[in-house]
């Protein structure tokens, strides 16, 4: 056991042993690895396809392009949602070209074939010109598994993967108190990036980078290892609890004035920060008390949240490529998806959802104020073009291209990780098991 193992807190109940597989560069740069992922990884997991707010009436649809694949989720007459591969069974043309929309029938723009919302072919040109007779009512779109959780819609390509609510464990339980069902997606931004999708996944699987990449967070999130709890689950998911409304224990922020960030967080709940000079760590309990007393008056429903959920940050990483970062007033979705053909590129997506609040017309998003309404900010860009994806997200992405370049060096021999990055190690060992079917050689 190393010194870092001793100070990193891994939950005794939720911990997984790691083998020490070498994390090699080929997984980030080669087409061979990319093709193996396409074959063995992506069909075997559930994918977040969209939000139910885009599927209110029968015939409403969401398109989700993923790598070379494309999936359409369609609202049914009975209120359920079905998912189909976005390909016409005639000659393969993509049916849906927009991200969201509504139509009584899905219509192929090539020859006009039409499909009901349940995927059944209902109209073709020259129906009597088929050897087997009119194909209408006999031909259907290729269907995938589809399910919902909270405000989200998921799809999966493989029938043998566990049902969604089992696959999500333990987050269906851990996040229940936030009552996410009716939260509103206000921010919906994405960008094309010049690095492999796993680079940012590694980043979200560790907090080692917070003091260097996100120094501003240190004044109101305690990233110190003795107080941060890491959890790892057998299914590949992992989590991190970080104490919020408290400055980092890496520096002395306790004996002096309340630092910026924590100062404003206290003021927001009617707490005078000047009264906490020399005891800044006590602000966390004061905020809990204030939220319990005044939360309802501010339009929030905190009734089912624990004290910890009221002030702390819960980072949920779902294997392999989805992170949910929870606070009582914001749910962040952070995801990277593979480029269709280039292993050294990816698509980064950042959503922010907020609880409905009759007393608030506007919320503060990572890119600035916005109306509290569905997709008030929605855009796609290219990272580096000057369009922000959120201040903290911009910082995370800033290391992506240079790391991708460094991984191409002959001098890189494999990652050397401290104990607090055990979740990174576990992530790659899970990848090895699924993508390669066996572990790589362990570092000697």
* φ/ψ (deg, to 5) at 75: -75, 135
In tens, the pLDDT along 42-96 reads: 999 999 999 999 999 999 999 999 999 999 999 999 999 999 999 999 999 999 9
- Length, in residues, of the chain: 444
Domains and CATH numbers, the chain: 23-41+178-243+311-434 (3.90.380.10), 45-156 (2.102.10.10)
Nearest to 301 by CA among 179, 201, 216, 384: 179
Strands (E), 264-367: 313-318, 322-327, 330-338, 346-354, 362-365
Which residues have a Cβ under 8 Å from the Cβ of 62 and sit 6 or more positions away?
49, 50, 54, 55, 72, 73, 99, 100, 153
Secondary structure of residue 432 in the 3-state scheme: helix
For the chain, what percent of residues have pLDDT higher than 90?
A: 86
pLDDT in tens, 204-233: 998 888 888 888 888 888 888 788 899 999
Other C-beta atoms closer than 10 Å to the C-beta of 384 total 15
- Between 102 and 214, whose confidence is greater? 102
How far, in Å, CA of 427 to CA of 414, rounded?
15
**Biggest CA-to-CA distance, the chain:** 85
- Position 316 confidence tier, pLDDT thresholds 50, 70, 90: very high
Residue 206 pLDDT: 87
User: Closest by alpha carbon to 265, among 302, 309, 221, 301?
Assistant: 221
Pairing mode of beta strands 152-156, 184-193:
unpaired
Q: What is the dihedral of CA 106, 157, 335, 240, to 10 degrees?
A: 140
For residue 381, the surrounding DSSP H or E stretch is strand 377-382
Task: Find all residues with CB under 8 Å of 418, minimum gap 6, and list them.
Answer: 2, 4, 8, 208
Q: Using 50, 70 and 90 to split pLDDT, how confident is the model at 121?
A: very high
d(CA 393, CA 325): 12
**Residue 442 confidence (pLDDT) above 70:** no
3 pLDDT band, cuts 50/70/90, is very low
Q: How far apart are CA 82 and CA 338, in angstroms?
A: 24
In the predicted structure, residue 299 carries a pLDDT above the cut 70: yes
The yes-or-no verdict on residue 289 having pLDDT over 70 is yes
Question: Which residue is it, tokens 């007033």?
Answer: 329
Instruction: Kindly report the average pLDDT of the chain as a whole number.
Output: 94
**Mean predicted confidence (pLDDT) in 351-359:** 97
Of 120 and 7, which is predicted with more confidence?
120
pTM: 0.94
Task: Decide if pLDDT at 117 tops 60.
Answer: yes
Closest C-alpha among 182, 153, 148 to residue 165 = 148
Task: Find where tokens 């799809």 sit.
Answer: 155
Residues 424 and 205: beta-carbon distance below 8 Å: yes
**Average pLDDT estimate for 106-129:** 97
In percent, the amount of the chain with pLDDT more than 70 equals 97
| pLDDT the model gives residue 11 | 83
Q: What is the pLDDT of residue 216?
A: 85
Weakest-pLDDT range from 104-108, 223-227, 297-301, 421-425: 223-227
Does 424 have pLDDT greater than 60? yes
* Residue 9 and residue 15 in contact, taking contact as beta carbons nearer than 8 Å: no
Helices (H) and strands (E) in the chain, counts: 13, 22
pLDDT-derived band of residue 438, with 50, 70 and 90 as boundaries? Answer: confident
pLDDT over 60 (residue 266): yes
DSSP string, 203-255: HHT--TTHHHH-GGGGGTEE--TTT-EEEE-TTS-EEEEEEESS--TTS--SS
* Residue whose pair of structure tokens reads 């059944």 in the numeric block: 120
Give me 265's structure tokens. 């967080």
Contacts of 3 (CB under 8 A, 6+ apart): 419
CA distance 317 to 338: 17
CB 222 within 8 A of CB 206: no
Taking 60 as the threshold, does the pLDDT of residue 2 lie above it? no
Q: What pLDDT, on the 0 to 100 scale, is given for residue 12? A: 84
């Amino acid at each position: 056991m190393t010194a870092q193992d001793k100070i990193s807190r891994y939950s005794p109940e939720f911990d997984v042993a790691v083998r020490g597989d070498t994390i090699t560069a080929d997984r980030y740069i080669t087409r061979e690895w990319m093709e193996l992922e396409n074959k063995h990884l992506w069909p075997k997991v559930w994918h977040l396809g969209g939000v139910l707010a885009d599927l209110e009436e029968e015939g409403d649809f969401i398109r989700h392009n993923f790598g070379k694949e494309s999936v359409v989720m369609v609202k049914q007459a009975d209120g359920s949602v079905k998912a189909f591969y976005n390909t016409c069974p005639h000659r393969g043309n993509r049916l849906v070209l927009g991200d969201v929309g509504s139509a009584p029938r899905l219509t192929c723009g090539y020859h006009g074939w039409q499909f009901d919302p349940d995927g059944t072919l209902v109209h073709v040109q020259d129906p009597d010109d088929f050897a087997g007779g009119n194909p209408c009512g006999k031909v259907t779109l290729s269907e995938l598994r589809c399910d919902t959780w909270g405000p989200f819609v998921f799809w999966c390509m493989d029938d043998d993967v566990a049902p969604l609510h089992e696959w999500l464990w333990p987050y269906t339980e851990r996040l229940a108190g936030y009552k996410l069902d009716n939260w509103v997606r206000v921010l919906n931004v994405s960008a094309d990036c010049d690095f492999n999708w796993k680079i940012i996944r590694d980043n979200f699987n560790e907090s080692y980078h917070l003091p260097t990449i996100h120094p501003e967070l240190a004044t109101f999130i305690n990233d110190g290892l003795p107080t941060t709890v890491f959890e790892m689950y057998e299914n590949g998911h992992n989590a991190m609890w970080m104490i919020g409304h408290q400055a980092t224990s890496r520096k002395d922020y306790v004996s002096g004035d309340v630092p910026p960030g924590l100062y404003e967080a206290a003021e927001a709940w009617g707490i005078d920060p000047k009264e906490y000079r020399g005891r800044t760590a006590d602000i966390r309990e004061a905020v809990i008390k204030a939220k319990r007393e005044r939360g309802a008056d501010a339009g929030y429903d905190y009734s089912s949240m624990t004290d910890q959920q009221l002030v702390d940050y819960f980072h949920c990483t779902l294997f392999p490529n989805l992170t949910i970062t929870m606070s009582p007033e914001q749910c962040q979705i952070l995801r990277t998806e593979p480029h269709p053909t280039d292993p050294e590129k990816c698509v980064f997506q950042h959503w922010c959802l907020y609880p409905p609040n009759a007393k608030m017309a506007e919320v503060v998003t990572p890119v600035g104020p916005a109306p509290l309404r569905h997709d008030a900010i929605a855009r796609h860009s290219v990272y580096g073009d000057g369009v922000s994806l959120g201040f903290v997200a911009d910082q995370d992405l800033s290391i992506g291209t240079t790391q991708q370049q460094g991984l191409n060096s002959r001098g890189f021999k494999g990652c050397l990780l401290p104990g607090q990055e055990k979740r990174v190690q576990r992530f790659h060992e899970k990848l090895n098991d699924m993508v390669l079917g066996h572990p790589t050689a362990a570092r000697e």
